[in-house]
Amino acid sequence: MSLMASLGILVGSGPPAECFGVISRKGTFPMKVKMYGTRGSIPVSNRECVKYGGNTTCVHVISDCIPPNESLVIDTGSGFVPLGHNGLKNGIKRYNILYSHYHHDHTQGLLLAPPTFIEGINLDIYGPEDLSVGPRQVVEALMNPPYFPVHFKQVGSRFSFKNLQFVESRVLLVHPEGGFKVLTLEDFQNITKRGDQIPFGRQRYDLNECLLIRMIGTNHPQMTISYRFEELPTGRTFVFLTDHEDVAGISMAFKKHLKGADLLVADAQYSRDKYIASTAGYGHGTSFGCVRLAVLCGCTRLGLTHHDPTATDAYIDNVILNEAVEAREQLKREVDECLLEDIFCCYDYQELDV
């Protein structure tokens, strides 16, 4: 019996094609983002959660800076399953996965998606090191009988791992021919000051051909990374900020991380009332807190994500979104300039221009 069969995973048996939407990328076009999972904590499936969906966190970052036949993915919640089926249709041979952190709602899709078990498909995984545990230790622990039928050693030859430590002093660079590279911030700054090309293996490429990824830690019980994507050929910037609890003050480093983002997608799991009453300290944000960050840091568009599993479509529309819109109107009266033009709640399979 094959690994796929032992798990009951059938190639081509995924969600209907209308869930996918093939995005053609020819020439230089601004970055796009596809939200394959926008739910927090646990997946949900019921009649009251149809509009926004129930897949847990998984985001596909689409850019001409990414090498052909490769995908760049943030987190592998249950949304990674349909993303993986889509990748089979499009001939993806390598998945570059950036983990924000390792809670189950951000990892479990890795165990159920076809790419994990198919020969000829490689998975390069980047993630934080927390309490001396990095991405390799996490994946090995998840794929370990009797808790899971496939041992990591059966598929491990197709995986590579990169621990991300001291994340504010590291950058990732992506080039369509050079691939992926991690540099210390100091080395990156020295190279750019000299005007040198960026070394990728034996080749060197211009910085303005790259996707630059910066990182910062969030306010969460476990080490969690927020990723900032700067597409240098187009000047577009996307920031993904999940599992971040509201803070009273915004540090200069955090302001710099969010500054001027064309698109910020942020964790707004709770209303202010619920947060104050029962969920403070859980490590998740409110719609008011997300709007405050976006306004004070000069972001243009804000998408709210990591919806609470108990939040119905009506609740997200009438409470979470309304609270965000009201927050923007309040903050407009308190600041000299508000650049935030658009606020919306993200939904599964949503495609966003950056």
Burial class of residue 346, CB neighbours in 10 A (0-12, 13-18, 19+): buried
Q: Which amino acid is at 136?
A: R
Both tokens of 250, joined, read 């915004």
Rounded CA-CA distance 292/286 in Å is: 10
Rounded Cα–Cα distance for residues 86 and 15 (Å)? 9
- What letter would DSSP give residue 140? H
Are 37 and 57 in contact, with CB atoms under 8 Å apart? yes
The whole-number pLDDT of residue 21 equals 43
Burial readout 87-112 (b: 16 or more C-beta within 10 A, e: otherwise): bbeeebebbbbbbbbbbebbbbbbbb
CB 204 within 8 A of CB 213: no
Give every residue of the chain whose pLDDT is below 70, as ranges.
1-28
Is the Cβ–Cβ distance between 287 and 307 less than 8 Å?
A: no
Please list the residues that pair with 199 across neighbouring strands.
204
| Helices and strands per DSSP (H, E), number in the chain | 9, 17
Give the contacts of 343 (CB within 8 A, at least 6 positions apart).
291, 294, 301, 302, 304, 321, 324, 325, 328
Sequence-separated (6 or more) residues with CB below 8 Å from residue 277 = none
- Cα dihedral 72, 267, 112, 11 sign: negative
Q: What is the pLDDT of residue 75?
A: 99
Q: Which domains does the chain have, with CATH numbers?
A: 29-353 (3.60.15.10)
Q: How many CB atoms lie within 10 A of CB 175?
A: 21
Radius of gyration of the chain (CA): 20
So what's the pLDDT on residue 146?
95
